[in-house]
């Protein structure tokens, strides 16, 4: 390889490392290899079409900017070459290296991918495993790993909206496509599936349609609760389902409810759906929510303080889609300013997303609960004494007010004997540092106090 390309490659990696978040860099950029530079066309080798699609969607503009800077040239274009083998060969033989796959193969692979109807942004890599999705994750991963001797067929994942069902089942598809782009995979939302069936019946082409599904190694049908409304097509659906099954195709299904609870669903379909493994997704717990928020922020290249992560995690516990919405909103606001985002601004920006369930909770109530918990008279908690026995519970009370309420730090300060807003922010940050250090005592105490708060409010 010539020196110029090597130089550009190294520069590119160095700048990208600073430009992108660590996880984006490691997942998507670090494995790129600049192969050749021909006037304004830079050819880059990638692992897979999934990687190409993702990069095109997320990082293309930044990559072009970086290259234009390094090469001091405008109108740079990128040509992506997909070659998983390269990485293996490169290791074996650094000197004599060639691109194996001609351009046509790339086009075939890209068009194969389009046929799957998968979305490249849903992968196992960017899915946070945690409380609420552990069995759904484990069984999806099992299916991806063992497609040939499918352990669960069908695999059905059910649960509320925005909890990662579509993400997980598409991750299986993307995983398998990346492994082998020739595998016949299909992702199809149930309404589309029903429309296809209804039209095929109308046009007398149902046999052709069935035939087209015969070679599918994996069919993912999303949101099967939709079938319930389509009583007429259920009969045909049952046959198609058996057909795929008998041709050794793996089927993965999602639904918003357990099959038993889907009304107007044919009993034969119900029992078919339950034949493999039925598993659920539940809303994530606090820790998982915090991890998801960090990941989503990182994906947006948005650096976010821990106290803000915890505020969102504490106050949005509906589903992941809402968490994502909150992060996007903050990142958007933040992209126009240099200053770090404050907790007060966060509360203001997210006020519509945070439907306070704790209508009866207020600063006074938190102070009561904390003073009882630590057995300290409430007026001491509010006074300015710096004694350690009081200072720590006071900081914790301020932390809880900051993270649990919509009140501004200003108004919290007022209720703590007329302190300034920065005292409150500092106290909250100090407690957050103890939590970050995994200080067991602080963890236990805060958890217990939160339990009392949750029991005494609604």
Binding site for ligand ADP (CB under 6 A): 127-128, 133, 161-167, 292, 320-321, 324
Least distance (Å) from ligand ADP to the CB of residue 268?
A: 26
Q: Which of 343, 283, 344, 353 is nearest to 316 (CA)?
A: 353
Binding partner at 259 among ligand ADP, Mg ion, none, C-beta below 5 to 8 Å by kind? none
Sole residue written with tokens 């599936």: 193
x/- mask, Mg ion, residues 314-353, rule CB under 5 A, reads ----------------------------------------
Which residue, chain included where needed, has tokens 């933040």?
Answer: 334
Q: How far is CA 79 from the centre of its chain?
A: 28
Please give the C-alpha separations between residue 240 and each of 253, 269, 455, in angstroms, as whole numbers: 14, 11, 50
Beta carbon of residue 327, minimum distance to ligand ADP (angstroms, whole number)? 11
Structure tokens at 310: 């915890």
| The entry of Mg ion, ligand ADP, none that residue 164 binds, CB within 5 to 8 Å by partner kind | ligand ADP
Residue nearer to ligand ADP on the CB measure, 282 or 426: 282
Question: How far apart are the C-alpha atoms of 16 and 155, rounded to whole Å?
Answer: 40
Task: Report, in Å, the least distance between residue 358 CB and ligand ADP.
Answer: 25
Comparison of 167 and 217: residue with beta carbon closer to ligand ADP: 167
DSSP 254: E
Cβ distance to ligand ADP smaller for residue 284 or 393: 284
Task: Please state, in angstroms and as integers, the Cα–Cα distance from residue 440 to each residue in 370, 436, 447, following that order.
Answer: 18, 10, 11
Q: Which of 49, 166, 190, 233 binds Mg ion (CB under 5 A)?
A: 166
Dist CA 455 CA 458 (whole Å): 8
Distance, in Å, from the CA atom of 438 to the CA atom of 275, rounded to the nearest integer, reads 43
133 binds Mg ion (CB under 5 A): no
Q: How many CA atoms lie within 13 A of 427 on its CB side?
A: 25
Residue nearest to ligand ADP (CB): 164
Choosing among Mg ion, ligand ADP, none, which partner's interface includes residue 169 (Cβ < 5 to 8 Å by kind)? none
Q: In this chain, which stretch among 94-102, 166-174, 362-370, 420-428 interacts with Mg ion, using CB under 5 A?
A: 166-174
| Closest separation in Å from C-beta 53 to ligand ADP | 15
Binding site for Mg ion (CB under 5 A): 165-166
């Amino acid at each position: 390889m010539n020196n110029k390309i090597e130089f550009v490659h190294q520069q590119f990696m160095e700048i990208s490392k600073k430009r992108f978040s660590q996880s984006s860099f490691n997942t998507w950029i670090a494995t790129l290899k600049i192969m050749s530079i021909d006037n304004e066309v830079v050819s880059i080798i990638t692992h897979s079409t999934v990687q190409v699609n993702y990069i095109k969607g997320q990082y293309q503009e930044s990559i072009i900017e970086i290259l234009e800077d390094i090469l001091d040239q405008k109108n740079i274009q990128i040509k992506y070459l997909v070659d998983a083998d390269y990485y293996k060969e490169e290791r074996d033989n650094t000197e004599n290296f060639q691109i194996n796959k001609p351009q046509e193969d790339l086009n075939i692979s890209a068009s194969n991918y389009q046929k799957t109807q998968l979305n490249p942004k849903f992968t196992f890599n960017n899915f946070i495993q945690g409380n609420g999705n552990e069995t759904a994750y484990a069984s999806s991963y099992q299916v991806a790993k063992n497609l040939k001797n499918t352990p669960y067929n069908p695999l059905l994942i059910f649960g509320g909206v925005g909890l990662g069902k579509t993400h997980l089942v598409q991750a299986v598809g993307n995983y398998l496509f990346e492994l082998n782009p020739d595998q016949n995979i299909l992702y199809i939302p149930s309404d589309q599936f029903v429309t296809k069936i209804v039209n095929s019946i109308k046009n007398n082409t149902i046999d052709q349609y069935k035939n087209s599904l015969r070679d599918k190694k994996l069919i993912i049908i999303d949101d099967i609760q939709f079938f319930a409304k389509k009583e007429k097509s259920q009969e045909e659906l049952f046959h198609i389902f058996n057909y795929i099954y008998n041709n050794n195709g793996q089927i993965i299904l999602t639904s918003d409810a357990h099959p038993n609870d889907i009304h107007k669903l044919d009993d034969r379909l119900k029992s078919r759906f339950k034949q493999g493994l039925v598993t659920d997704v539940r809303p994530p717990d606090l820790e998982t929510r915090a991890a998801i928020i960090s990941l989503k922020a990182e994906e947006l290249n948005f650096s976010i303080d821990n106290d803000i992560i915890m505020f969102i995690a504490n106050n949005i516990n509906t589903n992941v889609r809402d968490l994502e919405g909150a992060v996007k909103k903050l990142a958007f606001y933040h992209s126009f300013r240099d200053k770090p985002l404050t907790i007060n601004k966060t509360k203001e920006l997210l006020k519509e997303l945070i439907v306070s369930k704790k209508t009866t909770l207020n600063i006074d109530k938190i102070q009561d609960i904390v003073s009882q918990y630590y057995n300290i008279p409430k007026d001491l908690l509010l006074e300015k004494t710096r004694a350690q026995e009081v200072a720590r519970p006071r900081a914790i009370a301020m932390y809880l007010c900051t993270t649990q309420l919509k009140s501004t730090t200003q108004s919290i300060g007022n209720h703590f004997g007329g302190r300034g807003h920065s005292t409150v922010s500092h106290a909250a940050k100090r407690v957050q540092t103890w939590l970050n250090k995994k200080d067991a005592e602080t963890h236990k105490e805060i958890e217990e106090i939160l339990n009392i708060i949750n029991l005494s409010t609604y």
